[in-house]
Structure 1
Amino acid sequence: MNTRRTHRWPQPLDGQAQRLWYGGDYNPDQWPEEVWDDDIRLMHKAKVNLVSLGIFSWAKIEPSDGVFDFGWLDRIVDKLGRAGIAVDMASASASPPMWLTQAHPEVLWRDERGDVCWPGARQHWRATSPVFREYALRLCRAMAEHFKGNPYVVSWHVGNEYGCHNRFDYSDDAMRAFQKWCEARYGTIEAVNDAWGTAFWSQRMNDFSEIIPPRFIGEGNFMNPGKLLDFKRFSSDALKDFFIAERDALAQITPDKPLTTNFMVSSGGTTLDYDDWSDEVDFVSNDHYFTPGEQHFDELAYSASLVDGLARKKPWFLMENSTGAVNWRPINYRKEPGQTVRDALAHVAMGADAVCYFQWRQSRAGAEKFHSAMVPHAGENSRIFRDVCELGEDLQRLSDAGLEGTELKKSPIAVVFDYQSEWATEHSANPTQKVRHVTEPLDWFRAFADLGITADMVPMRGDWDTYEAAVLPCVYLLSQADSQRVHDYVSNGGKLFVTYYTGISDERDHVWLGGYPGSIQDVVGVRSEEFAPMGDDFPGTLDHLDLSNGAVAHDMADWITSTSPQASVLATYQADRRTGMNGVPAIVVNPFGSGKCAYIGCKLGREGLRLSLPDVLGEMGIDRSCEPNAGKVLRIERDGEDGRSRFVFYFNRGDDDVKVRFDGNVMVSSLAQVEEAGDAASISPNGLLIVKG
């Protein structure tokens, strides 16, 4: 297991008090210098105290090979610092300049067909190129040497969104690196053959030199799933190794400045193994962009909770979010009134001690000119900028009240997220393409919220087994060690929820034998012999299953053929006899050791879980007593170590006004009306209330 770096947080400028960081990506090189003073005026108006600089400025910092120009950057850093605005300085290596790729086209990544990714956008470099590494590290060292004594630079922003566009590279550089990665992981080629099951389809290899990336094999064919899974692991590691090289080049020269890089954690953000990466940063940072529609708030809260889990409840940095519309979806919806402030403070509720946006001033040209910003095209006389100023006031008020440094209070329930289980369930030769790990945790988070329970999102390597109750939702891969962890947790009194498609294979994607879930059958108290996928792609196929408790299952169910003698069956299927599913157990609770395990053998979605969970929670002995209007309000607490700083956040999750009662002093209210007695408030849609108890 990796050694986790000690948490280090950017410190305030000399003479300033510690407060929540607030700002965004700033690209002054896109604007004439006469605009800069107006930017600083507006930053003061919005109470901005930090900006990220130079993220995509390599071509301006190093306009030709080995020739560096820091003049413009020095001028803006000095202006900002003298105005009391700190700088999160980028390594500037995220996108190489044209002179570099023209001189060295071998640094460009190749797709699975061997086609070159040409310059014209960003991240057109390959992580395994020794040539590109040489140029990028030279830039990092030059940046560090130049700014090592600068009092206005408080942290390093290494790279940017690693793997967003260059996650997979199939070049010969990548091939050689993949071969070395496999040798380091497995030791012998026979161990690789065993891990990948190469006896199938005559894929046995005699030497590491015969390993190639999973390049194009023809339409409709099936790649070896063991190789695919390992290539995803390798790709995450290759980018991580490149990040570490950049990080260490900066840290060697500026050991006093904390370093981070921005993850992309969301309900579908599984580009890299961010839990593995979280060991390698001084503080965790994340970029999050809202999901339009009815999932908007819940998905945001879910993702922010997962970032808190990656950060192990240490303060984390919201490095990017949007004041309004993005530019990269087919339809780029704006935010509704109230959502800019609410969204930012929801991240804060979940443990963020910094709120930043992409970007400060909306671009006039380029690919992201229609991406919203803190200062929009409409200028300061706009709803967006007024919201930006309102948020700055809110963050200042919360800082003055002592929120900075408090932690998200631990929930009684953890929902587990596993990056590698998602990678394995993405493969095309699985029982159904409609079921993957990534969708199930969000359904559980939302269903618990509907019942008034705010669960913690916890990565598989995290401390989920220290919670009163935990959920393993479609955790497809369970190693022997993780299987033992499950046994120990429940045996020692833990209350575990396990779903279908959990514990199917070990870490090599070798199926556990003896029926599903093979390695934890005694804990869950069920044995399933077959999957029963559902769909409507052929006439007359089984497209759903009704449960005896009124819920409806879609996409996947287990054909459970036996349960342990002590298990209680809480729901069964009601189906035509021809399906073989009538009367088959769907939800089972099994006592094991000093604990209990609930097995949910089908995909119920948020609605089915919400309907089924009250009975399951009761059978498991989990108290779900909650406040009035539970389910309509998401209630979140942040507590200080002193026991005195307690902040309670109330967010309206619905489309109607909702009333809450509270005990304490109101710190922030947005679209909320506090009653005259001062112990209750009505919160409008997109509204919130923050109380210090």
Structure 2
Amino acid sequence: MAERTRFQWPQPLEGQQPRIWYGGDYNPDQWPEEVWDEDIELMRRAGVNFVSVGIFSWAKLEPEEGVYDFDWLDRVIDKLGKAGVAVDLASGTASPPMWLTQAHPEVLWVNDRGEVCQPGARQHYRPTSPVYREYALRLCRAMAEHYKDNPYVVAWHINNEYGCHNRFDYSEDAERAFREWCEKRYGTIDAVNDAWGTAFWAQRMNDFSEIIPPRYIGDGNFMNPGKLLDWKRFSSDALLDLYRAERDAVQEIAPRPQTTNFMVSAGGTGLDYDKWGYDVDFVSNDHYFSPGEAHLDELAYSASLCDGIARKQPWFLMEHSTSAVNWRPINYRCEPGELVRDSLAHLAMGADAICYFQWRQSKAGAEKWHSSMVPHAGADSQVFRDVCELGADLNLLADQGLLGTALVKSKVALVFDYESQWGTEHTATPSQQVRHWTEPLDWFRALADNGLTADVVPVRGDWDQYEAVVLPSLYILSEGTSRRVRDYVANGGKLFVTYYTGLADEKDHIWLGGYPGSIRDVVGVRVEEFVPLGTDQPGAMASLRLSNGTEAHDFADVIASVDGSTRVLATFQADSWTGMNGAPAITVNACGDGKAVYVGARLGREGLAKTLPTLLEELGIAADGPDCGKVLRVERADESGERRFVFLFNRTHETVKVDVEGEPMVASLAQVDEASGTAEISPNGVLVLKR
């Protein structure tokens, strides 16, 4: 990997002090100018100090080829800046205008069946199209030249949510670029043949001209898995290459802190965002809540992963929602209190900026039902009152010194890997019910149930610097990563490894000799076969009981042997005809100066939560604090540790009572009893304390 871009954060406007950035996407081109002044007055009331402008404005910025209209944008930026609202100015390239696609239909992306994506929405361009790139870079340069001296523009917002709709393009442009990517990665066609295992099914290629994208091969057929894994790598890299070109075009003329908004979430695994994190001045993310009982935990997990991608530098929450989104089959609203709580959860996890999509709710278009800071109901609404409450909370926390603190390092690192997720997505695997991304989320929640808030750390990150590490279904382990695992445990590390870990190397070639092939010596077990569990066939085994009172679903390992240094902590309990009765299910192995626990089945959040007390005790890991399971406890501190902020989030739908560990700063749906030194936090409530 190349070196990371130097961290740079948007600086306040002249005469202002650093604050927590607060605001959202602002689309004044959707509204008549008489609304703009009202917007700015409402922004003052809400404490807004930052907006992103021009994200989808290409057709207005360049109404005809080579004809630019910046007058309207000049007026808006001037009004915002004079009101103390800084501008994150977009390159405007996220959605090509109609005149461009009519003149150059060859910029439109193509699906795997050869069907052309027509204009009518957004992101209808080919990332590898030289024609699209020429026009996009021309706009980037025009924007940069026009606004290079504007004092109110504090950051550049390059494009928008790369790959949200055009992650995969199977056009001739993409084919050419894929061949070039493969040649750069492998050097020779023989190396490609080896990586893709083309001896199977007579797929051997004689030269790079025979490489084609993984286009439609018929229903029920199976794509070459090595090729498909590289296609996903290439597609992420192709978009990254476009981003770099747009970024550089802007920065050469008007250097300012730049970013592009990622889409990091538990299941948001389309692009390798950790690799992208090397190329932005500051990491920014769009996150939308998952409705239901996992809401807070999934948000905290995703925010922790974002913090890991940012390597604990401040990061920017560029988009989330005040309430309902518009793109789910059922668009659930936020419950009372969640607008403030969700924002403070991102803040707790290291975000120094809280922004929404969008400022004013649209009255027309595909996102008119997406909630906003100013809803259809206007300023006389609970949503806007909550927006104002949050603005006041953020200002208070800034006054009290939250800026300059970072998320305190956890005892436990959960390792996440985009490529392991991609490897598990193939349609010919032991079980289609197993994917990498679900297991780390289950572990995050189960650890929280036991009073531990884990850090989610990308596989390239410094996970081996933690007291304990979890490898949760990390399907791909390269030789380099395997070596790190061995060294970590040998030097005293405490390791948890689960089923489906270390099955393949970075080429998606299986590690031979029994699973987990590359770290079998570390975990001290040898898995010979798998026991997929399911209900799709009558009489199939749907679950397996464990001797510790938990139950495995979806997947279990056949652990055929254990090393002499390995102890069995739990076994499977099943009918004798299954061959699983009494077989090892959970083990612990002494290896060097450390220990490694192996969990050979999918236990889910509840099973893990029940199992973890024994495993944590086995490895000597203590909980972070009291109120295990009921409260998510997150802490930010400065480098000296003298300035600390404790965030306590109610994870239940019942009121919980907590000890007050410092001076109360923010109490949203929480009541503090100073006499007893306790507080009651209602459902969806949060208490922020300064220590």
Q: Report the TM-score range of the alignment, normalised by the length of the smaller protein.
A: over 0.9
User: Cα offset for 1:174?
Assistant: 0.2
Q: Is the 8 A contact 1:589 1:620 kept in 2?
A: no
Q: Does 1:660 align with 2:684?
A: no
Q: Quick one: distance in 2 between partners of 1:636 and 1:420?
A: 29
2:278 matched residue in structure 1: 279
Q: Quick one: distance in 1 between partners of 2:584 and 2:640?
A: 49
2:218 matched residue in structure 1: 218
2:181 matched residue in structure 1: 181
1:671 matched residue in structure 2: 669
For 1:347, give the aligned amino acid: H
1:207 matched residue in structure 2: 207
2:621 matched residue in structure 1: 622
Q: Is the 8 A contact 2:552 2:602 kept in 1?
A: yes
2:250 matched residue in structure 1: 250
User: Cα offset for 1:678?
Assistant: 6.5
Q: Quick one: distance in 1 between partners of 2:17 and 2:625?
A: 37
User: Cα offset for 1:620?
Assistant: 1.5
Q: Is the 8 A contact 1:629 1:660 kept in 2?
A: yes
For 1:482, give the aligned amino acid: T
Q: Is the 8 A contact 1:310 1:458 kept in 2?
A: yes
Q: Quick one: distance in 2 between partners of 1:583 and 1:565?
A: 18
1:689 matched residue in structure 2: 687
2:649 matched residue in structure 1: 651
For 2:579, give the aligned amino acid: G
2:603 matched residue in structure 1: 604
2:479 matched residue in structure 1: 480
Q: Is the 8 A contact 2:451 2:626 kept in 1?
A: no
List aligned pairs for 1:102-117, cutoff 5 A: 102-117=102-117
List aligned pairs for 1:30-429, cutoff 5 A: 30-255=30-255, 257-429=256-428
Q: Does 1:471 align with 2:463?
A: no
Identity %: 71
SS at match of 2:238: helix
CA deviation profile, 1:213-268 (whole Å, cap 9, x unmatched): 0000001000000000000000000000000000001110112x100000000010
For 1:498, give the aligned amino acid: V
SS at match of 1:191: helix
SS at match of 1:330: coil
Q: Quick one: distance in 1 between partners of 2:677 and 2:51?
A: 38
CA deviation profile, 1:381-428 (whole Å, cap 9, x unmatched): 000000000000000000000101210000010001100000000000
Q: Is the 8 A contact 1:313 1:408 kept in 2?
A: yes
User: Cα offset for 1:644?
Assistant: 2.3
Tell me, which stretches of 5 or more residues in structure 1 are unaligned?
none
Q: Quick one: distance in 2 between partners of 1:517 and 1:410?
A: 29
CA deviation profile, 1:652-680 (whole Å, cap 9, x unmatched): 00010001112321110000000032721
2:518 matched residue in structure 1: 519
Q: Is the 8 A contact 1:353 1:405 kept in 2?
A: no
User: Cα offset for 1:623?
Assistant: 2.4
Q: Quick one: distance in 2 between partners of 1:679 and 1:106?
A: 67
CA deviation profile, 1:582-608 (whole Å, cap 9, x unmatched): 111000000000000000000000011
Q: Does 1:14 align with 2:23?
A: no
Q: Quick one: distance in 1 between partners of 2:604 and 2:165?
A: 31
Q: Quick one: distance in 1 between partners of 2:297 and 2:418?
A: 20
Q: Is the 8 A contact 1:570 1:589 kept in 2?
A: yes
CA deviation profile, 1:310-365 (whole Å, cap 9, x unmatched): 00000000000000000000000000100000000000000000000000000000
Q: Quick one: distance in 1 between partners of 2:163 and 2:120?
A: 17
SS at match of 2:451: coil
1:438 matched residue in structure 2: 437
SS at match of 1:457: strand
Q: Quick one: distance in 2 between partners of 1:175 and 1:144?
A: 32
For 1:71, give the aligned amino acid: D
Q: Quick one: distance in 1 between partners of 2:180 and 2:595?
A: 44
User: Cα offset for 1:642?
Assistant: 3.7
User: Cα offset for 1:380?
Assistant: 0.4
SS at match of 1:331: coil
For 1:684, give the aligned amino acid: S
SS at match of 1:557: strand
1:21–1:678 distance in 2 versus 1, CA, 3 Å: farther
1:636 matched residue in structure 2: 634
For 2:575, give the aligned amino acid: D
Counting matched residue pairs gives: 691
Q: Quick one: distance in 1 between partners of 2:223 and 2:6?
A: 40
Q: Is the 8 A contact 2:464 2:488 kept in 1?
A: yes
Q: Quick one: distance in 2 between partners of 1:448 and 1:676?
A: 30
For 2:591, give the aligned amino acid: F
Q: Is the 8 A contact 1:21 1:355 kept in 2?
A: yes
Q: Quick one: distance in 2 between partners of 1:460 and 1:91?
A: 31
Q: Quick one: distance in 2 between partners of 1:678 and 1:44?
A: 38
Q: Is the 8 A contact 1:94 1:159 kept in 2?
A: yes
User: Cα offset for 1:149?
Assistant: 0.1
Q: Is the 8 A contact 2:588 2:598 kept in 1?
A: yes
Q: Is the 8 A contact 1:530 1:558 kept in 2?
A: yes
Q: Quick one: distance in 2 between partners of 1:584 and 1:164?
A: 45
SS at match of 2:305: helix
Q: Quick one: distance in 1 between partners of 2:618 and 2:507?
A: 35
User: Cα offset for 1:616?
Assistant: 1.1
Q: Quick one: distance in 1 between partners of 2:538 and 2:565?
A: 40
CA deviation profile, 1:428-468 (whole Å, cap 9, x unmatched): 00000000101000000000000010000000000000000
User: Cα offset for 1:617?
Assistant: 1.2
TM-score by length of 1: 0.99
Q: Quick one: distance in 2 between partners of 1:605 and 1:149?
A: 54
For 2:423, give the aligned amino acid: A
Q: Is the 8 A contact 2:414 2:469 kept in 1?
A: yes
Q: Quick one: distance in 2 between partners of 1:634 and 1:392?
A: 23
Q: Is the 8 A contact 2:497 2:597 kept in 1?
A: yes
For 1:131, give the aligned amino acid: V
For 2:167, give the aligned amino acid: R
Q: Quick one: distance in 2 between partners of 1:304 and 1:316?
A: 10
For 1:402, give the aligned amino acid: G
1:4–1:30 distance in 2 versus 1, CA, 3 Å: same
Q: Quick one: distance in 2 between partners of 1:628 and 1:677?
A: 20
SS at match of 1:568: strand
Q: Is the 8 A contact 1:672 1:687 kept in 2?
A: yes
Q: Quick one: distance in 1 between partners of 2:224 and 2:521?
A: 31
User: Cα offset for 1:629?
Assistant: 1.7
User: Cα offset for 1:622?
Assistant: 1.8
For 1:543, give the aligned amino acid: A
For 2:345, give the aligned amino acid: A
Q: Is the 8 A contact 1:289 1:322 kept in 2?
A: yes
SS at match of 1:176: helix
CA deviation profile, 1:160-181 (whole Å, cap 9, x unmatched): 0000000000000000000000
Q: Is the 8 A contact 1:22 1:354 kept in 2?
A: yes
Q: Quick one: distance in 2 between partners of 1:340 and 1:522?
A: 48
Q: Quick one: distance in 2 between partners of 1:450 and 1:307?
A: 22
